Amino acid sequence: MKAAVLREVRTPLQIEHVQISKPGPHEVLIRTAAAGVCHSDLHFIEGSYPHPLPAVLGHESAGIVEQVGSEVRTVKPGDHVITCLSAFCGHCEHCVTGHMSRCVSSDTRRDKTDAPRLSQEHGPMMQFLNLSSYAEQMLIHEHACVAIRKDMPLDRAALIGCGVLTGVCSVFNTAKVRPGDTVAVIGCGGVGLAAINGAAIAGASRIIAVDMSASKDNLAKHFGATDFVCAADGDAVKTVLDMTRGGVDQSFEAVGLKVTTEQAFGMLKRGGTANIIGMIPVGQTIEIPGAAFLGEKKLQGSLMGSNHFPVDMPKLVDMYMSGKLKLDEMISRRIKLEEINEAFEEMKTGQIARSVIVFDA
């Protein structure tokens, strides 16, 4: 099959032919229909997060099941599925207490003594985040995908696989935003726009979008923001505090930087919570004024929106089909696999929401 391979950090991905194995007892072979070009992949390309190489990148995807292993009971050939990087084993402490997104069990991966899922003539090819979706096919654990209704367009379904799930479910599951809450979202890329949309669905009374690019104003408001602050024009924290007369109930950092994390905490009212959903580069530390905790302000992380994806994803599909969840407007352009490096360069400009690789294009 054809796949996009990262061989060295800070170098372009290479389109290569990669061998893919047959499904083991609990594995599923999927024909990839679409894969979103996500900023998280860029973190690994640039070396902000380490990963064994060479590897087939990609982790935000949807497709059609081609084959299943002998013990698979959750999906069958012909099913349309969305994948999820937070594969879960179902029996560890995190899984049995309802925190499936935290599962790190090796049971969802092949043993080191087994043949690799992906390989080339000279050895194994590393699978990325349990998926490797920048490829024509994926071989994954059955608990890394969920079947969805077949009238859902797969190019839009792919976005639910990471960015939308992370953004919306951080609102629903991690923060538990309630009707009437005030919210600030820093960063209006795919994840931030999803958080804005989620806050609107949850009934937040005021949703303040913050971004360095003034051009994101109309897009953010289309997704549900009531206000927009261009951080390039001045002190965004002071602006939000003035607008809200003291701060917001919940803030969401969707950029992954030290400064924006500190801003998210600074925008809180007494008793507020800052939810960090961006990927802060390894090695960076956050500085928070100690006295601020006397106001019962909280800083918390969110991994993939604290999701229960086998339940959450079909619900998000239904929300899209009923017109509540906005996905069409999130796709800036549809591309071929061979255009992936250009998509990452466009991403760096901050002017687009999402490029989506469509494999039948």
Q: Which residues are catalytic?
A: 38, 40, 43, 59, 162
d(CA 130, CA 140): 7
d(CA 18, CA 263): 44
Q: Are 130 and 302 in contact (CB under 8 A)?
A: no
Q: Are 128 and 51 in contact (CB under 8 A)?
A: yes
| φ, ψ of residue 127 in degrees (nearest 5) | -85, 135
Q: Are 155 and 358 in contact (CB under 8 A)?
A: yes
d(CA 322, CA 1): 36
3-state secondary structure of 20: strand
CA neighbor of 231 nearest in space, from 348, 327, 331, 350: 350
Q: What is the largest CA-CA distance in the chain?
A: 63
Cis, bond preceding 50 (omega within 30 deg of 0): no
Q: Kindly list the distances between the CA atom of residue 136 and the CA atoms of 58, 161, 199, in Å, as whole numbers in the listed order.
A: 11, 17, 35
CA neighbor of 211 nearest in space, from 36, 37, 346, 350: 350
Helices (H) and strands (E) in the chain, counts: 10, 20
d(CA 198, CA 110): 35
Q: Are 48 and 10 in contact (CB under 8 A)?
A: no
3-state secondary structure of 325: coil
Q: What is the residue type of 311?
A: V
Q: What is the residue type of 193?
A: L
> b vs e for 238-248, b when ≥16 Cβ sit within 10 Å of the residue's Cβ?
ebbbebbeebb
Q: What is the residue type of 241?
A: L
